[in-house]
Each structure stands twice: as structure tokens, then as C-alpha cells.
Structure 1
């Protein structure tokens, strides 16, 4: 999945708007973060803690949680290895969690 594909998918969800910068775009719903491009190969996605472990176990090559994110409702998606369906699922979970 490419950063452009991530953006198109995120913006297809109701109420999602792009913010951030050209180099680090981010997509929000109701001013709450859904997904952000950390660098050209890594996304930061907000997901419910209750779903995070399942995503990590099911898609170990797609996602990870660096130590700085362990206490937060976030995970990283590694675009070079991530399954597109897994990334879309994580974005959907983030959207559902952040949508008011």
C-alpha cells in the first residue's frame, strides 16, 4: 500500500479530513486522529487497545508497537510489508473509535 492509497482510503470514510503537512499528512474525523504518515514507509494508526493485540498477532509483518507507543491507543503499520486489507481494517477500527 502506498501513502496515496492510504489517503484515498481514509478520505473515503465519512467525515474524514486531511490535515498535517505535505511531508506528514494526517487524517482526522471530528478533529480526532485516525491515521498519520510518520515517514514514507510507516503509518501511525489509532486503534482500540482491545483490538490492537489481535491485529499484531494476525498480521505480525504488517504492524508493530514501538516502546514509545505501548501505553497509547496506537500502532505502526509498515507499508513495505503490510497487507492492504489489514491496513484498511486498522483504519476502519480507528475511524470507529474516533467518530463521535
Structure 2
């Protein structure tokens, strides 16, 4: 999955706006983070903890949680070998979680 595909999918969701920088673009709904590109190969997606565990169990090659994120409602998606449908579902879950 490419960074461009991440952005296109995020922007297809109602109310999502691009922010961040050129190097680290991010997409927000109601000024709340949905997804951010950490680097060209990694996206950080904000998901509830119970959904995060399900994503990790179902797609261990797509998602991971580095130690610095263990206490946060976030998961990393490794784009080079990600399942696009799983990443899209995680972004949609983040969008639903962050809407007011």
C-alpha cells in the first residue's frame, strides 16, 4: 500500500482533512488524528485498544505496536507488506473512533 493510497482513502471519509507537513502528512476528523505517515513505509493509525488487539491478531504482518505506543490508542501499519483491506478497515475504525 502506498502513502498516496493512504491519503486517498482517508480523504474519502466524511470530514477528513489533511494536515501535518510534506514529510509527515496526517489526516484528521474534527481536529482529531485518524492516520499519520511516520515515514514512507509506516502509517500510525489511532484505534481503540480493543480494536488494536484484534488487528494485531488477525494481521500480524500488517500491524505492530512498538514499545513507545503500548499505552496509546495507536497501531503502526507496515505499508510495504500491508493488507490494503485491513489498513483501510483500521483507518475507517479510527475515523469512527475520532468523530465527535
Indicate whether the TM-score tops 0.5: yes
TM-score scaled by structure 1?
Answer: 0.99
Which runs of 5 or more structure 2 residues have no equivalent in the other structure? none
Q: Which residue of 2 aligns with 1:7?
A: 7
Which runs of 5 or more structure 1 residues have no equivalent in the other structure? none
SS in 2 for 1:80: helix
Aligned pairs for 1:74-85 (under 5 A) are 74-85=74-85
Size of the alignment, in residue pairs?
100
TM-score scaled by structure 2?
Answer: 0.99
Quick one: distance in 1 between partners of 2:52 and 2:33?
16
Measured against aligned partners, the alpha-carbon deviations of 1:32-79 in whole angstroms (never above 9, x if no partner) come to: 000000000000000011111100000000000000000000000000
Quick one: distance in 2 between partners of 1:65 and 1:26?
19
Aligned pairs for 1:36-47 (under 5 A) are 36-47=36-47
CA RMSD between the two structures: 0.4
Return structure 1 stretches of 4+ with deviation > 2 angstroms. none
